Every structure is written in C-alpha cells, then in structure tokens.
Amino acid sequence: MNTHHLSPMSKLEIVINGDDVASIDAVLRASGAVGYTVLGSVAGLGHSGFHQGSLYFNDRDTQRMVVCVVAEDRVDGVVEALREFFRTHAGVLFVSPTFVSRPEYFQ
C-alpha cells in the first residue's frame, strides 16, 4: 500500500456495555480525542464466554464498539485514561496503527 499521501495515526477499538457509552464519551473528550464512531449491537467470544446483547427491551442492553482515531501525540494519554476506566468497568481496548487521508480532522 502506498502511504506517502496519508498520515499515521492510532486506531482505538473499544468494546463496552451499551450503558457505558456516555462514560466513554467523557473519557475520550477529556483525554484529547476529538471524535469517534459508535457501532451498535456487537457480539463476541471472550475469556468469560459469549457476549451478545438484546435490542428486545432497549439499546443499552447491547454491547457497543467505539472506534476512535487519535493523533500520535495524543494516543498515550487517551490509552492511559481508557486503562483507568477499565479498572472499574467491563470491556476491552484494541490499539492499532492506521493511516488517514485528512489528518486535520483529528487535531
């Protein structure tokens, strides 16, 4: 892949309970992230078994994935804030390198 016209960033994928979205929003904003996307009703198999929410009663009973792209100079602070959040909340964080075409959107 030719990346010389793209800017390196870090992509955070955060899987949480649906009722923790507002808390994650606060953590991300306070630690320097400028935006994110929430994917609803995700499911998966982890160390404690299969997790799948249900939209039957409300959307807060589902698992959510929050995808956030962060500039390299902010990623350490954001990751540390999320690690602190996960000391008292269920969920998982994935961090991977990525490239973006419009870096000004992430400043």
- CATH of residue 87: 3.30.70.120
- The predicted pLDDT at position 96 comes to 98
Confidence class for position 47, pLDDT limits 50, 70, 90: confident
What are the residues facing 98 on neighbouring strands? 9
- Show the domain range for 62: 7-106
Residue 17 lies in a domain: yes
CA distance 92 to 86: 8
- 2 within domain boundaries: no
**CA–CA gap between residue 43 and residue 65 (Å, rounded):** 9
Q: pTM for the whole thing?
A: 0.87
Residue 1 belongs to some domain of the structure: no
**Domains in the chain, number:** 1
Asked, for residue 97, whether it belongs to a domain, the answer is yes
CA distances (Å), origin 92, targets 6, 57, 97, 102: 28, 24, 17, 27
57 is a domain residue: yes
- pLDDT the model gives residue 42: 85
Return mean pLDDT, the chain: 89
33 within domain boundaries:
yes
Within-domain flag for 53:
yes
Q: Residue 66 has which token pair?
A: 């929050």
Q: What are phi and psi of 37, to 5 degrees?
A: -125, 135
